[in-house]
Every structure is written in C-alpha cells, then in structure tokens.
Structure 1
C-alpha cells in the first residue's frame, strides 16, 4: 500500500472514530486544542497590556511549556496504541474547538486573559469526555494522563479567575449550555 493510500485509509477511519466517538478521536480534539491554545497564549504574552501583561509574563511560558509537553505525550500515547493523530494544519483546524481571531490581540489585556480562561474551560469538556471514553475502553494510561491534565487546567482557571477578580465559574460553561457541546 502506498503512503497516499495509507493516509486515505487513516482519514476514513478517523471520520468513523469521530462520529462514534472513541477515546482516541476525542483525544485528537484535545491535541488540536492544546496546540491552538499554546499559540493563543503566545499571542497574549506579546500583546496583552496592563496588569494582565504581568500575569502573562509570569505564567504564559509555564502554560505553553505544559501544554507542549501534554501535546507530545498524547501524540506519542495515541501513536503507540495504533491511533491516528492530527498531523496537518488542516486537521488541527478541523479538530480544534477553540476560536481564533487575529483582532483579539488588540483587546484589553484582561479580556485576552479571560479568553484564555474560557479556552481552558472548553478543553475540560473534551478532556472529561475522553476520560469517560477511556474508562469505557479500559485505557488506564490515557485516563491517568488526561486526569492530570484536567487537574492542572482547573488549577490554572482558578488562579487566573482570582487574578481577574472573578468568581470561579464566572463566564464559564454550565450544564445549561449542554446544547452548545
């Protein structure tokens, strides 16, 4: 089988897995979200002004580093288990559920930070779903890694929400929003 045929087969299987969904497919969304979020953090580090610029200077690189490690860890775990991962820019754009807007770099620093918090919150929706699917498919190492990522994200949301003077759940997903997921 040629490399093109192998890739076409992978894309067909990926389409099936994303409509089922499977733990691997849901993790593909997480991988895409991590990469796009890392890019958004980088942008906020460069453009945020006011107190948020200080927050981003202190935490931005840590966030990016952690998300990059998780990106690589999840990629490796999926590949080592015979699962496909998003490998092209088109796939990353297709699988991410985070919104990008080049104009956002000109928004107030606190608004840029809050957008990153909401992105963290969006990621938790996919992570909790992948954890459930991982448990159902008896994939303990995936469940362990994703549980650690979920815990880390919740810590970052709490930290940033406190910095902004928000209650923990201000502006974040609630059960009433289920129709949006």
Structure 2
C-alpha cells in the first residue's frame, strides 16, 4: 500500500470510528480543540484590553504551555496504540467544536476571556465522553491522562470565572438545557 492509499484507509477508518464513537474518535475532537484553543488564547493575549489583559499576561503562557504539552502527550498515546490523529488543517477544522471569529480580537477583554472559558467548557464535554469510552475500552493510560486534563480545565474555568465575577457555571453549558447527546 502506498502513502496515499494508507491515508485514504485512515480517513475511512476515522469516519467509521466517528459514527460508532470510540475513545480514539473522541480524541480527534479533543486534539483539534486543543490546537484551536491555543490559537485563540494567543490571539486574546495579544488583543485583550483592560483587566483581562493583566489576567492573560499572568495565565496565557501557562495555558499555552500546558495545552501544547497535552497535545503532544495525547498524540503519542494515540500513535502508540495504533490510532490515527488529526494531521491536516482540514481535519482540525472538521474536528474542532470551538467557534472562531476573527472579529473577536476587537471585542472587550472580558468578552474575549469569557469566550476562552466557554471553550474550556466545550472541551470538557468531549473529555468526559472520551474518559468513559477509554474506561470501556480498557485504555487506562488514556483515561488517566484525560482525567488529569479535565481537572486542570475545571480549575482554569473556576479561576477565570472568579476573576470575571461570575458564578462557577454562569453562562456555560447546562446539560438540562440540551437533550441532544450527539457529538
């Protein structure tokens, strides 16, 4: 099989995995979300004004460093277990569930910061689903890694919501408001 045939087989398997969710399929979403979120953090750190710029000057680099390390670890876990990973810009765009808008960089700093919090929250939906699938598929190292990622994200949500003067879940996804469990 040549390189193109191998890649086409990978795409076909990925499509199958996404229709019958597997931990590996959920990981494609998580990895893409991390990549896009890192871009959004960088953008907000450059353009946010007011108190949000101070918060980001203290936290953006830590967030970026953590997300980059997590991105690399998750890619290694997948490849080490024979799973495919998103490798093209088109795949990142297809798999991410984070919203992007170039005009956001001109929004108020607090609005940019809250958008990052909502992105963290969106990521938790995929992470919790992937943890359950990893446990079901007897993939303990993935479940452990994702559990640590989930705990870190929840802490960042709490810290940022506190900074913004919000209650912990204010403005974030509420499962009771959505009957659609499909990803």
1:180 is displaced (CA, Å) by 7.2
> TM-score normalized by structure 2?
0.97
Count of residue pairs the alignment pairs up: 181
Q: What are the within-5 Å matches in structure 2 for residues 4-43 of structure 1?
A: 4-43=4-43
Distance 1:173 1:132 in 2: 19
**2:154 aligned counterpart, secondary structure:** helix
Q: Provide runs of 4+ in structure 1 moved above 4 Å.
A: none
**Pair 1:179 & 2:180 matched:** yes
1:103 is displaced (CA, Å) by 0.2
Distance 2:22 2:90 in 1: 21
Partner of 1:110: 110
Q: What are the within-5 Å matches in structure 2 for residues 135-150 of structure 1?
A: 135-150=135-150
The C-alpha deviation readout for 1:129-181, integer Å capped at 9, x for no partner, is: 00000010000000000000000000000000000000000001111224375
Any unmatched runs of 5+ in structure 2? none
Partner of 2:44: 44
Q: What are the within-5 Å matches in structure 2 for residues 13-92 of structure 1?
A: 13-92=13-92
Q: What are the within-5 Å matches in structure 2 for residues 157-176 of structure 1?
A: 157-175=157-175, 176=177
**2:145 aligned counterpart, secondary structure:** helix
Any unmatched runs of 5+ in structure 1? none
